[in-house]
Structure 1
Amino acid sequence: MLKTVRYSLLTTGLLLSGYTLASPAGDLPLMPWPAQVERPAQGALAIDNRLTIRVTGDDLGPAVGRWRERIARQTGWVLMPQAAGVTSPTIDIAIARSVAAIPRPDSDESYRLTVSASGVKLTANTRFGALRGMETLLQLIQNGPENTAIPYVSITDAPRFPWRGLLLDSARHFMPLEDIKRQLDGMAAAKLNVFHWHLTDDQGWRFASNRYPKLQQLASDGQFYTQAQMKEVVRYAAERGIRVVPEIDMPGHASAIAVAYPELMSAPGPYEMERHWGVLKPVLDPTKEATYAFADAIVGELAAIFPDAYLHIGGDEVDDTQWKNNPAIQRFMQQNALADSHALQAYFNRRLERILEKYHRQMVGWDEIYHPDLPKSILIQSWQGQDALGEVAKNGYKGILSTGFYLDQPQYAAYHYRNDIVPQGLNGVDTLSDADSAQSWSFSMPRLKGSPVEGSFTLVKGEDGWRGFIDFKGKSRRAVQNIEWLSDDQMTFSVDTWMGETRPLLTVSNDSISGYFLIGNTRYPASGKRLEAVPAGTPPVVPDAEQQKNLLGGEAALWAENIVAPVLDIRLWPRAFAVAERLWSAQDVQDTDNMYQRLQAVDGWSTVSVGLQQHTQQLQQFARLASGSSTLALQILAQAVEPAHYYTRQHLKFQAGNYHQFEPLNRFADALPAESMTVHSLNRWAERLVSDAEDTESADALRHVFTRWQSNTPDALALAGANYQLAAIKPVVAQVDKLAALGLRLTDLVARQGTLDDKEYASIQAQLDEAAKTQDEVVIAAVYPLETLLRATRIE
């Protein structure tokens, strides 16, 4: 139960509340959560502006100066100058052995941190452990009611996985160097250690080549990184313990290469710069020796700039149309016994792998490069999911996971947080006994672009209640959770899919079902029929304990079709901390309520200490949209609204003919984080009020938000009428106003345990269904806590 509730509107429009932190992770504002945390005594070490730092065992260069600057920002102090040769430092950092400053795939990142009355002691085997430990310490520095202090604590820590990456796409929309460096600062703060730099794609070549200069001259629109700039990124990243793995995509995603060097392609040119997004046809010709001379030269240049042992060759989404339509290529395949396009791509990759070996580099590529003809030294990055990754691991290849960590898709942080690297089994959920009663249903869920999502699900009533599983077409069987019959003819459950958190709400009528699948916050209509028998399914691919050692970790991915530099931080932070914790922390650190509390703390800390700009960028976008007026109305409106989840925004742009490089990313939706923490709080308060009608604090918290939304309506409508870029959200403003009034009524009704008759219940549900529709690429996510309140008023 809440003891106190405090309200404050931050610059992001988040409504915060105080409530007790949960286990297992604990109540320290740390993220990722360390491997072992002990609180040997109550109390804290008070510090002031005389603070000093000493490092022994290795030379960390400018790191000490950076840490002092960050402490000054966190505290507001002007630190007193630190004399040389400090003998009794406040923070004593001891490194066991000196190692090369360039991080490696096997760098030791372990550390031990102790805070006691005698000061701070940080010990690490290498400089990289010291860097990770200092980020933990910086998160612990708190300004309290009496002083600035660090709680007494003993931490022993090391990462669960060695590969903890972030992909930034500089090809589709160019990212300036200062923005890249800021993300590296954020990565270091989150203990991410691999910067995967996507430098080329169909829409742009961003790598300045000395050997093939027409690439940047003709295929970059003048936006590319010089070799000196790329070396500067490597240096900057290394100082923060981060490896840089460049990606040059081959043989597909090659439209930019085609513009500069059409003679390397599988179909004759000329080619023009590609402006549209999608899987496109230009592909390198694997039968030409000139192609491999090109690859050799580019790899050589990359190796001279990027010292990491790995080099990413892409290899994904190869459209083989040009290969099939080229008679010379078809003859080459016949002469070399290459059965199909996958075999031809494997041939290309074998040649490419030998080039990489020449330059002492190991190949990384997406799922499509996986082939038994390639050596076990390659690394597979999976966008196709845990089953594909499981096959990789079972067959002795190394793999990392990106499915479920696509941060360019708006998704809830909890979805990313639940996404474990290790494939999970069914634990007998689909094993039926004579005492079980099962019902199976087919379903079809049309999408805005592409084929419908189809499959079946089975719900099983057993002695211990309901359980179930779902079979998506072409994918393995998954267990479903939270099965609930909302009425005799309406069911819901939840399951995490490649699309996001998925919650069908379906109504049964005779032998048919209809309703929708809620993908994140966005509804997709669905329908289906009862099946006569439980369908056969494909079991998930689960590697054994020894094979799981082949799973090196994962990478968050930030593809840039819908992202430009002015909103980069909004898309990435703070959600990337949730991904970072899944990659660093123990597998059993899973409490999402606890995660959200710490995520809120690290969100604020990262803007002050690290300099991330998720809040600054939002205010800048709101200021642009407000056209000189106060942004407060947009901040308050943003509490109720989220960008449409999954690929809804991309697919809407595709339908409208706007899925291209010059589509303005200037909507209200572009200024919104993926998740409204106000709505997150509303969900919690609504659930608490439903479970305890006497919870007056939750009721008051709900009323406070709804009242504020109502009061905001005139100002929000005025702004929407003053800027054409906001005109499309006028209906959203009007609906939020209606929902606020409805929220006040439902809160009072639940608080006094009132009920609604069927007619009025249906009328309110219809209002919520209308408000839940996607409008100008946003969804009024506040609909969902209101549905929780509404369901509590149903007459049983």
Structure 2
Amino acid sequence: MINATSITDYPRYKHRGFLLDTARHYMPLPIILKHLDAMSYNKFNVFHWHLVDHQAFPFVSRVYPELSEKGAYHPQLKVYKPDDVTRVIEYARLRGIRVIPELDTPGHMESWGRSHPEIITMCYENGEPFGRLGTINPIKNETYTFVRNLFREIVEVFSDDFVHLGADEVTYDCWKSNPEIQAFMNDKSWNEDYSSLEELYQTKLFQIITDLKAKYIIWQDPIDNNVTVNQDTIVQVWKDPSLDPILPPYREGLEKVTKLGLKTILSAPWYLNYISYGPDWKNFYQTEPEDFNGTAEQKKLLIGGEACMWAEYVDGGNVIPRIWPRAAAIGERLWSANDVRDVDMANVRLDQQRCRMVRRGINAEPIAPGYCGRYEYAMNDPWGSDQTNEASVNTPFHIGIIYMMVALVCFSIF
């Protein structure tokens, strides 16, 4: 006989996301699927797929196939074909995870320019073009035709209501050097106000996305540049001195964005690509998202957060253990109530959760000395008699399975 159990559990935030960069290094499809499994084990519900960037354009577009043919690391082996994308979306859906694609503009577009230099601003030096392409060219009508066609495809392929439009780290250098841009600025009497040029592009892009019946998320940079955005824009806060000493504290970013009445997502404290020796997960765990100056109404505009793994120094060989189980601490912070924050208790739960993931084939790294019993990663006997810290110890197989299913739900975090 099994006793009846009543479980009351619900998330603090509705947006519990994870950004994975597949442009700095290509991530093989099996790695992405394994990562989605791990996300589902740890109560993440949004896969923010950073598809393309300066370095590579691995997304195979039906409308503009030349983007990946010339922009990917390899036009056949290092791309995500339509069937791959469909598989990721469906695999995620079956695990309660939304997939939000990011195509970052108007910066981070060098890979686009390999096949379509006509939409990118040519950089000049001493009055002459010197071959480097910068940010998008916002003064050409053909730029917006191209962007509209590509994002129409993105909206159709990805089933989520939202797309991420990027908009971070827009450098003005090429705009400043380009004589056509300069003439346009003079005609507008904008002088050196390049934020107005940025705003021109963003306003047109937002309208394109709205016309496509989609919603959008952007990084905080346009807000920092005093660009006026639509009131339904969701802003992702990523800047903090912990990432670069010249950046403002993320609490100031949250305060500024919410003071404008805009919804926001927090990422700054949870950049998993920054690593240190020892249990850095504790820093992630102890972050209180609403610890910023603002009214109660402002704090209601914080809809959640995202862990981020940028891929300059990870690929399919090391990305999973670099992420897990560190990200699980962020999963708890976004799910559990504010008063669930005892680090010592979380340490026990996280250690147990790490072993569960190992048993399920997720090569999560250890957080402390010890071992996971006979189901240590890559061992052949997952049901050995010396398992530790698991409900299946000394119990019949089917009862152990039931206990573990209950454990996955009733632990406050995982």
Residue number in structure 2 paired with 1:283: 135
* Superimposed CA distance per residue, residues 323-373 of structure 1 (whole angstroms, 9 cap, x where no aligned partner): 000122122223335452222112111100011011111121111132562
* Superimposed CA distance per residue, residues 75-134 of structure 1 (whole angstroms, 9 cap, x where no aligned partner): xxxxxxxxxxxxxxxxxxxxxxxxxxxxxxxxxxxxxxxxxx2x5xxxxxxxxxxxxxxx
SS at match of 1:175: coil
State yes or no: 1:415 paired with 2:261.
no
**AA at the equivalent of 1:214:** E
Count matched residues: 346
Q: Is the 8 A contact 1:258 1:271 kept in 2?
A: no
Alpha-carbon distance in structure 1 between the residues aligned to 2:353 and 2:216 = 35
SS at match of 1:249: strand
SS at match of 2:16: strand
Query: What's the CA shift for 1:259?
Result: 1.4
Alpha-carbon distance in structure 2 between the residues aligned to 1:213 and 1:235 = 23
Aligned ranges 1:571-720 → 2 under 5 Å: 571-609=322-360, 611-614=361-364, 677-678=368-369
SS at match of 1:267: strand
Q: Is the 8 A contact 2:58 2:73 kept in 1?
A: no
Residue number in structure 1 paired with 2:58: 206
Aligned ranges 1:164-563 → 2 under 5 Å: 164-222=16-74, 223-267=78-122, 282-338=134-190, 340-370=193-223, 371=226, 373-384=228-239, 385-411=250-276, 412-424=280-292, 542-563=293-314
Alpha-carbon distance in structure 2 between the residues aligned to 1:270 and 1:167 = 35
Aligned mate of 1:565, from 310, 316, 324: 316
- Choose between structure 1 and 2 for higher RCO, CA contacts under 8 A separated by at least 6 residues: 2
Q: Is the 8 A contact 1:350 1:374 kept in 2?
A: yes
Query: What's the CA shift for 1:423?
Result: 2.9
Alpha-carbon distance in structure 1 between the residues aligned to 2:160 and 2:199 = 24
* Superimposed CA distance per residue, residues 185-234 of structure 1 (whole angstroms, 9 cap, x where no aligned partner): 11111110110000111100011112222211111022111122111111
Q: Is the 8 A contact 2:285 2:329 kept in 1?
A: yes
The alpha-carbon distance between structure 1 residues 271 and 195, as it changes in their structure 2 partners (threshold 3 A), is farther
Q: Is the 8 A contact 1:219 1:260 kept in 2?
A: yes
**AA at the equivalent of 1:416:** F
SS at match of 1:232: helix
Query: What's the CA shift for 1:422?
Result: 1.1
Aligned ranges 1:16-27 → 2 under 5 Å: none
* Superimposed CA distance per residue, residues 141-195 of structure 1 (whole angstroms, 9 cap, x where no aligned partner): xxxxxxxxxxxx4321111011100000000100011110111111111110110
**AA at the equivalent of 2:314:** I
**AA at the equivalent of 2:271:** Y
**AA at the equivalent of 1:350:** T
**AA at the equivalent of 1:601:** Q
Alpha-carbon distance in structure 1 between the residues aligned to 2:272 and 2:231 = 29
Q: Is the 8 A contact 2:195 2:227 kept in 1?
A: no
* Superimposed CA distance per residue, residues 299-336 of structure 1 (whole angstroms, 9 cap, x where no aligned partner): 01101110111111111111211000012212222333
SS at match of 1:200: coil
Q: Is the 8 A contact 1:186 1:612 kept in 2?
A: yes
Alpha-carbon distance in structure 2 between the residues aligned to 1:391 and 1:318 = 19
Alpha-carbon distance in structure 2 between the residues aligned to 1:310 and 1:337 = 35
Gaps of 5+ in 1: 1-44, 47-116, 120-152, 273-280, 425-541, 616-672, 680-796
Q: Is the 8 A contact 2:237 2:266 kept in 1?
A: yes
Query: What's the CA shift for 1:560?
Result: 0.3
Residue number in structure 1 paired with 2:377: none
**AA at the equivalent of 1:557:** C
Alpha-carbon distance in structure 1 between the residues aligned to 2:260 and 2:298 = 8
SS at match of 1:248: strand
**AA at the equivalent of 1:574:** P
Q: Is the 8 A contact 1:262 1:270 kept in 2?
A: no
Alpha-carbon distance in structure 1 between the residues aligned to 2:320 and 2:305 = 20
Aligned ranges 1:139-178 → 2 under 5 Å: 153-178=5-30
Alpha-carbon distance in structure 1 between the residues aligned to 2:183 and 2:339 = 55
Alpha-carbon distance in structure 2 between the residues aligned to 1:583 and 1:345 = 33
Query: What's the CA shift for 1:566?
Result: 0.9
**AA at the equivalent of 2:168:** D
What TM-score, normalized to structure 1?
0.42
**AA at the equivalent of 2:72:** S
Alpha-carbon distance in structure 1 between the residues aligned to 2:84 and 2:171 = 33
**AA at the equivalent of 2:92:** A
Q: Is the 8 A contact 1:356 1:362 kept in 2?
A: yes
Query: What's the CA shift for 1:270?
Result: 8.6
Alpha-carbon distance in structure 2 between the residues aligned to 1:332 and 1:398 = 33
Residue number in structure 2 paired with 1:449: none
Alpha-carbon distance in structure 1 between the residues aligned to 2:187 and 2:44 = 47
Q: Is the 8 A contact 1:246 1:306 kept in 2?
A: yes
Alpha-carbon distance in structure 2 between the residues aligned to 1:160 and 1:388 = 21
- The CA RMSD measured in Å over matched residues stands at 1.9
Query: What's the CA shift for 1:271?
Result: 5.9
Alpha-carbon distance in structure 2 between the residues aligned to 1:403 and 1:375 = 23
Q: Is the 8 A contact 2:106 2:167 kept in 1?
A: yes
Alpha-carbon distance in structure 1 between the residues aligned to 2:316 and 2:254 = 32
* Superimposed CA distance per residue, residues 442-492 of structure 1 (whole angstroms, 9 cap, x where no aligned partner): xxxxxxxxxxxxxxxxxxxxxxxxxxxxxxxxxxxxxxxxxxxxxxxxxxx
**AA at the equivalent of 2:220:** D
Alpha-carbon distance in structure 2 between the residues aligned to 1:270 and 1:601 = 57
SS at match of 1:562: coil
* Superimposed CA distance per residue, residues 479-525 of structure 1 (whole angstroms, 9 cap, x where no aligned partner): xxxxxxxxxxxxxxxxxxxxxxxxxxxxxxxxxxxxxxxxxxxxxxx
SS at match of 2:356: helix
**AA at the equivalent of 2:265:** I
The alpha-carbon distance between structure 1 residues 184 and 271, as it changes in their structure 2 partners (threshold 3 A), is farther
Alpha-carbon distance in structure 2 between the residues aligned to 1:315 and 1:271 = 23
The alpha-carbon distance between structure 1 residues 257 and 366, as it changes in their structure 2 partners (threshold 3 A), is same
Higher strand share: 1
Q: Is the 8 A contact 1:173 1:564 kept in 2?
A: yes
Alpha-carbon distance in structure 2 between the residues aligned to 1:603 and 1:178 = 20
SS at match of 2:8: strand
Query: What's the CA shift for 1:262?
Result: 1.1
Alpha-carbon distance in structure 2 between the residues aligned to 1:332 and 1:543 = 40
